[in-house]
Structure 1
Amino acid sequence: MTTDLYGLPITTQNPQTVQGINDFIHGFIAYETKAPNIIPTADADPDCGLANAYAAMLWMFLEAPAAPSKAAPYMARARAATPGTAREAQVIDTIGLWVDGDIPEMLAGCDAITTEYPRDVVMLKLAQYHLFNTGDAAGMLRFALKALPDAADIPYVHGMIAFGYEQCHLLDDAETAAQQAMALRHDEPWAHHALAHVMLTQGRVAEGADFLESVADTWQNLNSFMRSHNWWHLALFYLSQGRHDDVCRAYDTHIWGLEKDYSQDQVGAVSMLARMEFAGVDVGDRWADVADHVALRGQDTVSAFLTLQYLYALGRTARPETRYLMAAIDARAADTAPYDHVAWAEVALPAARGIIAHSKGDWPTAIAQLGQALPRMAECGGSHAQRDLFEQIHLDALVQDGRASAAQQVLEMRRTYDPDGVPLNLLLGDVYEKSGLPEQAANARARAEKTRAAVQSR
């Protein structure tokens, strides 16, 4: 019996098909550019169910309204193919559920497969992706831990465990798992990513920047999402340190411009530009190109987390497409049929209204609507670090509306994980000044200057 690279039986004797399947498996979990090789592989071997199911799955990661129609021909071939092993049949059925839009049943399928076949890292990664998108951090960790001890030799499993721990706020466990992944393979990018989250949350800003800089060369040949996203994390550390030139260089070279049509690259650019502006960085005309590409998505409501960031880009640039996307969000929130209708109706919709209000300078509405959504934003997906964009939009509205006392409360809470951040402390200095607390204002500004001096002395 032929097996894949992790020892799971696969029904094909064609060496090119085996190679294409292995390219997909490893490319998918390692974020390497060979994963798309599965498309020509499936086209060349239409009777291989697993290869065609994997091709359908790859199309679904387009994260666009057209994805199911792109996936459908491959899914049809997978379902019609000669029956393979029991696991392959389960995989085909489970991927088919995603194409059909039944996410809860798809996750149940992933659960069954990864319980019986702990080395099926594709189904593990697929499950984590969807659990992440629904804010189920505990589920992400539970799925990943099931892979042990059977898959303990696979570095990417430890990277997935690390991210599950981090999203559950179990930071020490996350760091241990990430280090274990790197001990097996130093260039494991998802482990780098998990460590970036840990260090950001713990306020280890200088250490985080140094660490990511030390491994950044290993991201050069990864797919656009992983390369741009790890650089996005490095740029967050640069922002905290007040390193404006480094932030702009990271944005222009590694964050925007790799795959301008891809959803994740677009929202990475949107959220970074917003953060840069909130931190006082002059972004020049960078918004225009991002908004041009986002506008081409039309009324895309595939993911609440993604859509809200598209909306911010359109609103920030006063694009006429803003009202059409907002109408689509209204319609999506009114549709009670989808499994995620509550997240759209009770979280995404008020967040969208707050984002629109912010773009119009209607600070009271922005504060009220975002304030309603923020406690439940995890239901829309995204990581803690990514969802912080919405916290910053809300904070900016508080500052712009002159609510110094409320802003002070938010900023001091933020200082628990970014104690010496330059933009945070400069803003805190302004807020304390407006609150009639000059000593506290001076202390905040001194912290910012200390960080700047430390960076300049390196």
Structure 2
Amino acid sequence: MEEVKLDRWGYEVRTSSDSCISAINAFYDQVLSYGRQRSVILEAPDHDKDCVLANILAAHFLCSSDRSRAVSHLQAAKSRLEQATAYEKAVFDAVNYMVSENKDDDVAVELHSKLLKDFPRDLVSLKRAQVLCFYMGRPDLSLNLVQQVLTENQGENYIYGMLAFSMLELDRMADAEKAAKQGFEINKNDYWAQHAFCHVLQHQCRFKEAVDFMEGCSSSWNSCSSFMLTHNWWHVALCYLEGNSPIQSVLEIYDHCIWKELEKGDAVCPEVYLNSVGLLLRVYVRGEIDAIEERLRILAGCLTDKANWYIEWHLDSLTLWALASSGEVSKAEELLKGLKSRFSLMNKKKQQLMQRGMLLAEALYEYGKGNDKQALKLLGPDFDANNCKMIGASEEQLDVFNEVWYSMLLNAGQAAKAIYVLEKRINKREGVPFLWRLLERGYNLIGRKEAAIAGQKARALEIAYFK
């Protein structure tokens, strides 16, 4: 009988290999720190081909990129399941269901909740469950899972970043700020806690404070995954943009801190493209089309590669806009047709969840072609991008779609509707100059005297942040 060793959490794993446990623990660190060496988990079954935990974690890592290898590791885990420890069996049950065909997301969350009830220090399983909740658009479930294990993990910095992000998605900004600070006070290089704190500052329109904070942290980001590195810089660029910094400041970040990531041999291209196209759409909506025309053309050329399709619904939706607006209409049509096909194959429950996401994708395709009228019809009169979290995007990432909608309303002459939704949005985020400019335009369209006041407010904010 093989001996039992303890992993980082202090839970029993049946293996005689110190190297296997070391690889598993290294994988834990990479997942929680958004590192770029998550493939280290593939070393664990090399050191012990019979270790259930090593194989099931490797299977999950490979399931979206190399299905045949994932199945091989899954079968290896199953073959030794009777000899596994209670902890390994719990992880196996949760992950095995996660990679199964036609899984029910609610069941997957429940399996993780059960796992965490018995093994509350397993923060990688918590992270896995939080990602699942994120794609369900259920931050309430995500918060419940964190709170379930918080007492047992009070000394772990990673728990506070996870707590903070759940609070952010529930619009509990004061609580999110407190949790994020707790995380990076324990570990100043906790990138997820840094990211959560930036979210708070950005939401509260503390743009310069957010930029100063994130740029002060940026020297430690080189070990981050392509997503985390470029996403943190995306936040910095967006703070410059929302704070009305010169457009060149935004484009320098795009060129030197986001797009430049693609020069690295281990870059994950779709992760870079997601943050790239999300930023360019923000700039586009603000009318700076000439400034990004060549960058958008180059990016759209990359996005014609089908290897980048159907990885993330969020990326696919943005890709539809990028392709359609760059003249790659036939490619955009092909991608949209593929999304509709995938949607039709979903079970009824999943279709109900993804219906808004499907409509958003179609609307972005029409918007990219310049067909605002049809795009508005698809989004409907009560559109709120925050109801589209199921595409795998945070509220900050989704907000650009609200901006697109506001602009289309104004372009279509629906000034009264635009004014109504803009006034509501400004009540929540009154420090964004662009929103005041849109409101000024709406007032002007129907001849209301409040246009002058909105213009004055916009001008005051435009010089307030980055003098």
Task: Answer whether TM exceeds 0.5 for this pair.
Answer: yes
Q: Within 5 Å, give how 1:227-238 maps onto structure 2.
A: 227-238=229-240
Distance 1:293 1:373 in 2: 34
SS at match of 1:354: helix
Matched, 1:286 2:289: no
Deviations 1:23-44 (A, max 9, x none): 1001101112232211233334
Specify which of 401, 409, 412 is matched with residue 398 of structure 1.
409
1:182-214 per-position Cα deviation (integer Å, ceiling 9, x unaligned): 121112111112112222222322322222222
Q: Verify the 8 A CA contact 1:239 1:423 in the aligned structure 2.
A: no
Deviations along 1:78-125, whole A, 9 cap, x unmatched?
222363211112212322222223243332221111111110111100
1:80 aligns with: 79
**How many residue pairs are counted as aligned between the two chains?**
451
Q: 5+ unaligned residues in a row in structure 2: which ranges?
A: none
SS at match of 1:2: strand
Aligned partners of 1:348 and 1:380 also within 8 Å: yes
Bigger mean CA deviation after superposition, 207-216 or 414-423: 414-423
- Report the residue type matching 1:263 in the other structure: P
Residue of structure 1 in register with 2:199 after alignment: 197
Q: Alpha-carbon deviations, 1:346-399, whole Å to 9, x = none?
A: 312322221222122222211121236834313433211111122122222112
Query: Within 2, Cα distance between the matches of 1:254 and 1:84?
Result: 45
Counterpart in 2 of 1:121? 123
Q: Distance in 2 between matches of 1:339 and 1:12?
A: 40
AA of the residue aligned to 1:341: Q
**1:266 equivalent in structure 2:** 273
Q: Which residue of 1 aligns with 2:453?
A: 443
8 A contact 1:68–1:99 mirrored in 2: no
In the TM superposition, residue 456 of structure 1 has moved relative to its aligned partner by 4.9
- Alpha-carbon separation, structure 2, partners of 1:92 and 1:228: 32
Q: Contact (CA 8 Å) 1:174, 1:194: kept in 2 or not?
A: yes
Residues 111 and 20 of structure 1: CA distance in aligned 2, closer, same or farther (over 3 Å)? same
Q: For residues 126-145 of structure 1, what are the structure 2 equivalents within 5 Å? A: 126-145=128-147
Q: Which of 406, 410, 422 is matched with 2:433 structurally?
A: 422
Following superposition, the deviation at residue 295 of structure 1 comes to 2.3
- Give the direction of change, closer, same or farther, for the CA distance of 1:349–1:76 in structure 2 (3 Å limit): same
Q: Quick one: distance in 2 between partners of 1:336 and 1:123? A: 26
Counterpart-to-counterpart distance in 1, 2:68 and 2:276: 27
What are the equivalent positions in structure 2 for 1:211-360 lying under 5 Å apart?
A: 211-243=213-245, 244-259=247-262, 261-281=268-288, 282-297=291-306, 300-301=309-310, 303-319=312-328, 320-337=330-347, 339-344=349-354, 346-360=355-369
Please tell me whether the aligned partners of residues 363 and 374 of structure 2 are also in contact (alpha carbons under 8 angstroms).
yes
CA distance in 2, matches of 1:90, 1:108: 12
Q: What's the C-alpha RMSD, in Å, of the aligned pairs? A: 2.3
User: Is residue 180 of structure 1 aligned with residue 182 of structure 2?
Assistant: yes
Q: Is the Cα–Cα contact under 8 Å of residues 408 and 428 in structure 1 kept in the other structure? A: yes
Q: What letter corresponds to residue 76 of structure 1 in structure 2?
A: Q
Distance in 2 separating the partners of 1:294 and 1:73:
31
Shift of residue 338, structure 1, vs aligned partner:
6.6
In structure 1, the gaps of 5 or more residues are none
Distance 1:358 1:92 in 2: 44
Question: Which region of structure 1 is more displaced relative to structure 2, 419-428 or 270-279?
Answer: 419-428
State the TM-score, normalizing by the size of structure 2. 0.89
SS in 2 for 1:10: strand
Letter aligned with residue 267 of structure 1: L
Q: What per-residue deviation string (whole Å, max 9, x for no partner) do you get for residues 250-271 of structure 1?
A: 1112223425654333222111
Q: Percent of aligned positions with the same letter in both sequences?
A: 27
Which letter does structure 2 place at the counterpart of 1:185? N
2:383 pairs with one of 374, 384, 396: 374
